Amino acid sequence: MANNSRTTIIVVTALMLFSMFFGAGNLIFPPMLGIGAGENFWPAIFGFLGAGVLLPVIAIIAIAMSGNSVRDLANRAGWIFGLIFPILAYLSIGAFYALPRTGAVAFETAATPLFGWDSMLASGLFNFAFFGVALALSWRPSTISSTLGKFLTPILVLLLVLLIAFSVMNFETIERSPSEDFVEAPMATGLLEGYLTMDAIAALAFGIVVISSLRYQGVKEGRPLVTGTIAAGIGAGILLALIYVGLGVIGQRLPGGEQFDNGANVLSEAANQTLGQPGQVVFALIVLLACLTTAVGLITATSEFFESLLPGVRYHIWAVIFALMSFSMATMGLDTVLAVAAPVISFIYPPAITLMFIALVEPAFRGRPHFYWTYRLPIWVAVIWSALTSLHSLGWGASIIEPLISWAPMQALSLGWVLPVIVTVVIAFVLDVVQKDRAPAERARVEA
């Protein structure tokens, strides 16, 4: 394969991956961060980029280096985790949350402001058409790279750059005091905002789509496929970071931005002030394209995963099932989607991040020692801690759980799991080293 051809394939795949990542939350969180962070904008946006860009790129790299899918990676923590975790991850980014959210947000932030539609019937008709188009575009996984990377994503990026450029040219930076959440720990608050994009979890699922796409386009197995996947992940991450900063700057500069309670209204107002009535059409197209490309990626990723899990049920059947489930939930509105998904999302993030970082560190040791306990113990500590935190947030057994988790640093920021996991990683690594050193001696004793 010629270098130019390979470069083109990676660029198109990176654009495809960007469009799958860049959905509703990615669009509306940065402008609100720009308003709320005030003079603490830069530490806050760097925190956001840590969770919204760095973690997803790490996840793509981890998938590329460890195998073909998130299940290959999760199996390193044992077969129970290897089965349950991928199912929860795919359902949370699929029919339980992120997929229906694309339709719900597209309706509420694009169709309703532009056309005034706000009834249940209008929502149902819109989402039926929305998920029908998404299903049609995802019907042939081999064409998703061309559909998204060559056509839809360039239009989306062009519209985003247009909105950001006009806003930067027309508005000046406004000195604002940071809101309460961004006063003492702006970077940690930005990190938690980045969590809400769910891209770290989505990246674990999208890894298989990237690998499959590169295979469809003729990239050879082995090192070329691994390096191509990593390059596409890094390329998508760079573009994400630039767009996030640009959207955050819009929030930082928009006059009267503090009066808005969500990022969609901020961007809509910015489009209106800079481009007039055509700006509303531009913004509606941005929302629609961002949500549609993400929906296509999610249908493809979840359907390919469940086909591999249950080969007796074909990809197209899964795609129809997930499209119908998402249509039903999206029609009921965004609040319903969030209520169903919130407990699952808060539960799976800590073990997912733990898994990604251990997988990223492991190759540096070249298999000496073999990471057995280093996967299992920290990940199960993250699972248990996450379960306790989720139960506590729901008010179940709070009096018993409170003393078990409240001692940890950053627990108030939902990051209390970090220290216990780090300590467990060190202990588990020592166990693996001791076992490696002990094995030859035990074999010699047995032979004697």
Query: Of 303, 332, 361, which marks where a domain is finished?
Result: 332
Q: Residue 353: which domain range?
A: 343-448
Mean pLDDT estimate for the chain: 87
Residue 338 lies in a domain: no
How far is CA 79 from each of CA 42, 76, 295, 374, 387, rounded to the nearest angstrom?
Answer: 42, 8, 30, 15, 19
Residues 324 and 350 in one domain: no
Task: Give pLDDT tens digits for 387-397.
Answer: 998 888 877 88
Residues 206 and 149 in one domain: yes
Query: Of 312, 332, 352, which marks where a domain is finished?
Result: 332
What CATH number should be reported for the domain holding residue 174?
1.20.1740.10
Task: Give pLDDT tens digits for 345-366.
Answer: 678 889 998 998 898 888 888 7
Question: pLDDT at residue 332 above 90?
Answer: no
Q: Predicted confidence band at 442 (pLDDT cuts at 50, 70, 90)? A: very low
How many Å apart are CA 371 and CA 351, to the nearest integer?
16
How many Å apart are CA 106 and CA 53, to the nearest integer?
23
Mean pLDDT of 363-387: 90
Burial classification of residue 364, based on how many CB atoms lie within 10 Å of its CB (0-12 exposed, 13-18 middle, 19 or more buried): exposed
Q: Which residue has the higher pLDDT, 290 or 66?
A: 290
Residues 155 and 217 in one domain: yes
Task: Give pLDDT tens digits for 70-114.
Answer: 888 899 999 999 999 999 888 887 877 788 888 988 888 888 888
Q: Which residue has the higher pLDDT, 332 or 302?
A: 302
Q: Which residue has the higher pLDDT, 220 or 46?
A: 46
Residues 220 and 322 in one domain: yes
CA 386 to chain centre: 18
Task: Give pLDDT tens digits for 200-240.
Answer: 888 888 888 898 889 888 888 888 899 999 999 999 999 99
Number of structural domains (the chain) is 2
The secondary structure of 375-386 as a DSSP string is HHHHHHHHHHHH
How far is CA 14 from each of CA 33, 38, 123, 315, rounded to the nearest angstrom?
Answer: 26, 32, 32, 24
Q: Predicted confidence band at 198 (pLDDT cuts at 50, 70, 90)? A: confident
Q: Looking at 55-64, 331-340, 375-384, 405-414, which range is the least confident one?
A: 331-340
Residues 22 and 109 in one domain: yes
Contact 318, 307 (CB under 8 A): yes
Question: Hey, what are 405's tokens?
Answer: 């988790």
Contact 50, 193 (CB under 8 A): no
Residues 228 and 375 in one domain: no
Residues 278 and 315 in one domain: yes
Task: Give pLDDT tens digits for 150-167.
Answer: 889 999 999 999 999 999
Residue 73 lies in a domain: yes
Task: Give pLDDT tens digits for 238-257.
Answer: 999 999 999 999 999 999 88
Residues 247 and 381 in one domain: no
Query: Of 307, 332, 357, which marks where a domain is finished?
Result: 332
Residues 165 and 224 in one domain: yes
Task: Give pLDDT tens digits for 101-153.
Answer: 889 888 888 888 888 888 889 989 999 999 999 999 999 988 888 888 888 99
Residues 120 and 194 in one domain: yes
How many Å apart are CA 331 and CA 333, to the nearest integer?
5
Residue of 253, 244, 271, 251 lying closest to 110 (CA atoms):
271
Angle at 62 between CA 57 and CA 64, to 5 degrees: 95
Residues 110 and 239 in one domain: yes
